[in-house]
Amino acid sequence: MDLGKTIAVRHESIDEGSAGQRIDNYLVRRLKGVPKSLIYRILRSGELRVNGGRVNQTYRLKVGDQLRIPPVRMADPGAAPPVPVGRPLPVVWEDDALIVLDKPAGLAVHGGSGVSFGVIEQLRRQRPQTRFLELAHRLDRETSGLLIVAKKRSALTVLHDQMRHGAIGKRYLTLVQGRWLDRCRHLHQPLTKYLTEQGERRVRVDREGKPAHSVVRLQRRWQHYSLLEVELRTGRTHQIRVHLTQAGYPLLGDDKYGDFALNKRLERDGLARMFLHAWRLDFRHPLTDARIRVESPLPEALEAYLAVVEQTQEREHG
């Protein structure tokens, strides 16, 4: 990689906004344009000092910590495309502690794995005056809907704790192939991550995997398709997609676990994305403890395809 200008020695003091953050994540944000490999090298070598001593990459910063950041060379600005400002991301809820966005499908939540930028990078570009912006959780790139971003470290810590304890109610709407018969069904299959031969990340049901719990409720049913609401009791990667595919009901438009031949036909009929939308969040405010419920209606593209299904499929009741 071509390198550009050198950043001189920097001395920084940690305030409340950065306290609790891992040192490696802090440096990635502060040293924009510096390759991550170089950041980890200065940590391993001990060139970076915290309060005069060495720390490893998992060290969590404390208020008042004094950092000495050694001279590093930034990547050539032309080596990577700049994050575009883009259109303002739709905001469903906001106060001084957090933002709830309505993420469009096709936009990753963060850069990486071949994606140069995502929601969080774009939001920081749009709001340069906001010192702290961090994702409280994630959505798949192909999934639309509600996404929480913390504006304070204290809020992020509480939100992460709520996530770990299942205290945030997350509900999704999805259209699947097949006639779902149960009014309500609990899916408990454990999940594990793996890589394909092509190096792509995938998830499968595995009795040695991490516990995963989805609650599936029938909303509408037709001859060949079913509209389901899925409540996540755990938040594993690709959980809804894998649980429903394992149960015999692949998501329409799912390019990783779905029915690929059917997806091609659906695209001709107007469904050019995966039918999965994070439509409701229920949680307590991380700082005031007030109850919050936010909702996002189905995007126009998904509503339009439901209208096609209503026109072409015989509706079933009961």
Candidates 132, 131, 135; CA nearest to 118 is 135
Which are the contacts of 255, defined by CB distance < 8 A and separation ≥ 6? 142, 263, 274
The set of long-range contacts for 36-40, using a CB threshold of 8 Å and a minimum separation of 24, is 38/72, 38/73, 39/72
Would you say 97 and 286 are in contact if contact means Cβ atoms under 8 Å apart? yes
Candidates 74, 67, 57; CA nearest to 6 is 74
Candidates 138, 316, 104, 143; CA nearest to 227 is 316
Tokens of 259: 């029915």
> Which of 15, 140, 182, 206 is the catalytic position?
140
Question: DSSP string covering 73-113, please?
Answer: EEEPGGGSPPPP--SPPPEEEE-SSEEEEEEPTT--SS-BT
Count of other CB atoms within 10 angstroms of residue 174: 26
Main-chain dihedrals φ then ψ at residue 170, nearest 5 degrees: -120, 120
Candidates 132, 161, 114; CA nearest to 283 is 161
Can 269 be counted among the known catalytic residues? no
Which are the catalytic amino acids? 140
